[in-house]
A and B are shown apart, each in its own frame.
Chain A
Amino acid sequence: MKRELNSFYERITPESSNREFLDTILRKAEIMERKTNKTVRKPFIAAAAVAAAMAVGTGAAAATGLLDFNEIFGQSIIAEDPEHGSSLLGFAEEQKHVVSNENYIVKLNAVTGTHASLVTSFEISRADGQPINNGNDPHIDLKDISLNNIESFSCGSCHYYLNDNGSIIINWENRLGDDLMLSDLNSVAGEIKTSGSISFADHSERVDLDWETSFNYIPTDESLETLTAADLNKKITLNGNKIDEFDVYPVECEIRTIKLTQLGGVIEISAEADEIFFGLNHDNEIFLIKKDGTKILAGFSSGYATGKQDTVIYNVTYYADNKFIDDLAIDLSDISAISINGTIFELS
């Protein structure tokens, strides 16, 4: 059977030549670049993207990497920036969700994105907890979706579907370079509104639903304290995973920079070329050490390529009682050192 399958797959080949394919990619990249250049570039573009994301939603989002809806939002609005660590940008207060039909709930699940696009995810479910059943009438019609009148449905791309749990998921992507000026959103303080309308079937009945979500966005200008490690360039061993290998293995590294803020930090790591890794295992042991010797548990979270050869930057997250708390802030004046897998780095 393996032979037949492989013979089948061998016959699946693209029609165009590699040269034509390469030309197409280069042409598309050029068009993309032209569009991106139309946007006013800001030095803090990654943080700004998250700030914009937060202006739509509530919480933190990774500003680079693949678009995965795995960020769960709290009240604080935090930017993860590879150079400056996590920063508190503001707060979301007085969240309101208004739905035209009280039998349904609309939630803003997540906002995430990159410097070039912003994806917002809504979830529509039944208030009684039962799954939406669209039976023989699977047609879902999203009629409108907007954000503070800045963006209209026609400007982005929207994917919507009924998931396995019987909730309608709407993933709304805006390409920032084309349509949405970050500065438009970033300067918005006060009430932020999103609204939409949709029609779908539930237990053989058509439902027309309008919704509106809103909250007060309160940006903060508070500049955060930062600690930097005084003694660096020590060699340490970290536990890593290669993306294409799933076993944990030791990686000999050097720590280049360590910066900590009240809300999180960043660690820049370099390793030999053949040891570059894309995942640091959770069992790497990081503690912030207080002046009285007590410890605060921390851990590596998302990583970013620095652009420099063989170096990556990892964000550091703090934990309280072994649990991640998204708005946990620590008192930096009380921290004297950081321990990474038993190696101590003094902080200044």
Chain B
Amino acid sequence: MNEQQLDRYIINFRGTVYRLAYSYLKNCEDAEDISQEAFLKLYTSTQSFAADENVKAWLIRVTVNLCKNLLRSSAYRNHDELTNEAAPHSPESSGIEEYIKRMRPEYSAVLYLFYYEGYSVKEIAKICGITSVAVRTRLSRGRNKLKEMLLKEDAL
């Protein structure tokens, strides 16, 4: 892959990769690090791609794996506990943002892939390495919680 191709893929897919990583990790710095790692893997990969959609699917899969690996690492968990304690509540945050930040990473990632990226349940199952039933469960629980929260906001 040459620099021009990489540049084009960054323009087309950086947002997707970043938002997905953010959905898992809930902070900008880690989302940026994971994005860099995913695109670095793409740039140094020997894989050939026939279409841009294949590149996108590949990047999504790699990003999911990188995020899961990071979340599993004890170094990250310790760091995460510290930053969570120190992070002040952001007054300009919207309700939905606050809720999604509190949501478990696997739930927010599934919501993102389904609603924003438009992937089907079956496709998300394949991307995340879980069953279709698990995807449906996470979607349903995530939706219900969000709905509940939005209704409360309206009531205020």
Contacts and interface: CB of A to CB of B under 8 A. Distances in A.
| A and B associate | yes
Could you say which of A15, A32, A159, A275 has the most chain B C-beta atoms within 10 Å of its C-beta? A159
Interface stretch (A125-133, A183-191, A304-312): A304-312
B10 A22 contact: yes
A240 to B, nearest CB: 12
Interface string B48-87: 1111011011100110010001001110000000000000
What DSSP secondary structure best describes chain A's contact surface? Answer: mixed
Contacts of B65: 66-67
B18 A13 contact: yes
Contacts of A1: 143, 146-147, 150
A2 B118 CA distance: 11
B115 A18 contact: no
Interface residues of A, number: 44
Contacts of B72: 159, 161
B46 A307 contact: yes
A246 B126 contact: yes
A197 to B, nearest CB: 16
A8 interface: yes
Given A4-B150, A244-B123, A273-B50, A25 B36 contact: yes
Given A5-B146, A276-B48, A26 B3 contact: yes
A14 interface: yes
Contacts of A159: 69, 72-74
Nearest to B57: A244
Contacts of B47: 305
B98 to A, nearest CB: 10
B61 A66 contact: yes
Given A5-B111, A15-B28, A64 B46 contact: yes
B24 interface: no
B6 A8 contact: no
A32 B40 CA distance: 10
B97 A8 contact: yes
A98 interface: no
B80 to A, nearest CB: 13
Contacts of A244: 53-54, 56-57, 123
A25 B120 CA distance: 31
Contacts of A11: 97
B100 A8 contact: yes
Interface string B114-156: 0110001011001000000000000000010011001000000
Contacts of A66: 61-62, 65
Interface hub of B74, B97, B111, B122 (most chain A Cβ within 10 A): B74
Given A1-B146, A8-B94, A14 B39 contact: no
B46 A4 contact: no
Contact of A24 (B18, B36, B111, B147): B36
Contact of A5 (B14, B31, B69, B116): B116
Contacts of A29: 40, 43-44
A177 to B, nearest CB: 11
A187 to B, nearest CB: 27
Interface centre among A9, A15, A246, by most B CB within 10 Å? A9
A53 B116 CA distance: 40
A310 B32 CA distance: 33
A290 to B, nearest CB: 36
A118 to B, nearest CB: 16
Contact of B46 (A24, A160, A305): A305
Interface in A231-278: 242-244, 246, 273-276, 278
A25 B96 contact: no
B119 to A, nearest CB: 9
A9 B116 contact: yes
A278 B58 CA distance: 10
A307 B45 CA distance: 11
30 contacts: A11-B97, A12-B18, A12-B19, A12-B31, A14-B18, A15-B28, A15-B32, A18-B11, A21-B39, A22-B10, A25-B6, A25-B10, A25-B39, A26-B6, A29-B40, A29-B44, A32-B40, A67-B65, A159-B69, A160-B74, A161-B73, A171-B69, A243-B61, A244-B54, A244-B57, A246-B123, A273-B50, A276-B49, A276-B54, A310-B50
Given A18-B14, A22-B10, A67-B65, 20 more contacts: A2-B115, A4-B150, A5-B115, A5-B116, A6-B116, A8-B97, A9-B19, A9-B112, A21-B39, A25-B40, A26-B3, A28-B36, A29-B43, A29-B44, A32-B44, A243-B54, A244-B53, A244-B54, A246-B123, A309-B48
Nearest 8 pairs between A and B by C-beta? A276-B50, A244-B57, A305-B48, A159-B73, A9-B116, A243-B57, A161-B72, A5-B115
